[in-house]
Amino acid sequence: MASSIRPSLSSSLRFASSHSAPRFCLSRAPSWTVVLSHFGSVSLQSQNFLLCASPLWRRNTSVYSCGKSGKVAQASKTTDHEKLLDWVKKDNRRMLHVVYRVGDLDRTIKFYTECLGMKLLRKRDIPEERYTNAFLGYGPEDAHFVIELTYNYGVDKYDIGTGFGHFGVAVEDVAKTVELIKIKGGKVTHEPGPVKGGTTVIAFIEDPDGYKFELLERGPTPEPLCQVMLRVGDLDRSINFYEKAFGMELLHKRDDPEYKYTIAMMGYGPEDKKAVLELTYNYGVTEYEKGNAYAQIAIGTDDVYRTAEAVKLYGGKVTRKPGPLPGINTKIMACLDPDGWKTVQKSFDNIVFWHTTALSHDLVYDVSIS
């Protein structure tokens, strides 16, 4: 039953009951305050007092203030925000694939399969839209992070820009992989050797389109395609966004003052078992050129609608409202992080990995250019 409590003329009031009723204190405020709770409702009939509930009460309460017009306006959404953040942390998420454009699809497929040991998972041509896709990786799409290459008819070169960094691939023997890449005509930009300040052997190479790959020497791993590195202008802001909007975990953070950069590894599991997002901040650099080569990452989620709420709440921009795709039941939403990097979220409950050729690709990937 709803109850109404009238404050006394004193500036403070406390009450408690044998049923552990919540405590309140009253302080002066210029307008009415109405507190609505699932326990009932409490309303104050004075313009001179403000009701302040204890933390226990506030967890189950929404606070509203009434101005002289008598209209109720929500003054606090703390409870809703806490519930949303809690849901994000518990959401079932996985990095699905990374999308980028190449100038010669067959050439790139040959390089990835022969030099990096990937498999061509599927390929589709959409002549009416003048583009072709190829999906490559180290295992099926429903269980692995994979690459989606896009070739747009007649476009043989793209601008990678300064913001994209590299992809990471774990191999058992970096030196042997590098020798194979040299034989196949690949470009090695950093010879095999231990990473600075550590023991992990790494090397850097470039594919035929100029995309950089970091080869990391590891034992057998369930996710050889293990990293996507992007540069950001404010690392703490990006960490906060990916933690709260996408539910990623900060796996580790490393600062290198000698070379003036800091990196943060974000993901949904250990780096040796899951693909991760490597965010890099270069001292004093707040903006980068993104070019038109790299497109986006796709992430699976249980609910694209609630994900869109979290993205807007924590500094992102929704560029495609959540909802089902025309002709199929897969629900998606697209957004930009605070630096403008694009992510597509797909619902797990009805995700379709083999899209129909009748589906317009710009609704899903937005990877072609005119």
Which residue shows structure tokens 């989606």? 148
User: For position 21, what pLDDT does the model report?
Assistant: 42
Domain ranges of the chain: 24-76, 94-364
Binding residues for Zn(2+): 148, 166, 214
Question: What is the full DSSP assignment across 243-296?
Answer: HHTT--EEEEEEEETTTTEEEEEEESS-TTTS-EEEEEEETT-------SSEEE
Instruction: Please give the Cα distance from 185 to 297 (Å, whole number).
Output: 29
One-letter amino acid at 358 equals: A
* Chain mean pLDDT for the chain: 81
Pick from 54-63, 125-134, 166-175: least confident: 54-63
> pLDDT, tens digit, for every residue of 107-124?
999 999 999 999 999 999
Mark whether 278 is an active-site residue. no
Percent of the chain with pLDDT over 70: 74
**Section 193-202 average pLDDT:** 89
**Section 327-332 average pLDDT:** 86
Q: What angle do CA 83, 86, 88 make, to 5 degrees?
A: 110
Cα-flanking dihedrals φ and ψ of residue 86, to 5°? -65, -40
Q: What angle do CA 22, 28, 32 make, to 5 degrees?
A: 75
User: For position 353, what pLDDT does the model report?
Assistant: 54
pLDDT for 212 beyond 60: yes
Binding residues: 148, 166, 214
Q: Residue 161: helix, strand or coil by DSSP?
A: coil
The one catalytic residue in 114, 129, 214, 287 is: 214
Tell whether domain 94-364 is in CATH 3.90.640.10.
no
Instruction: Please give the Cα distance from 145 to 99 (Å, whole number).
Output: 11
Q: How many CA atoms lie within 13 A of 136 on its CB side?
A: 23
Which residue would you say has higher pLDDT here, 85 or 32? 85
**Section 212-221 average pLDDT:** 96
Which residue shows structure tokens 């998972």? 121
Residue 233, C-beta contacts closer than 8 angstroms, at least 6 positions apart: 281, 285, 286, 287, 288, 339
User: For position 327, what pLDDT does the model report?
Assistant: 78
**Section 343-367 average pLDDT:** 55
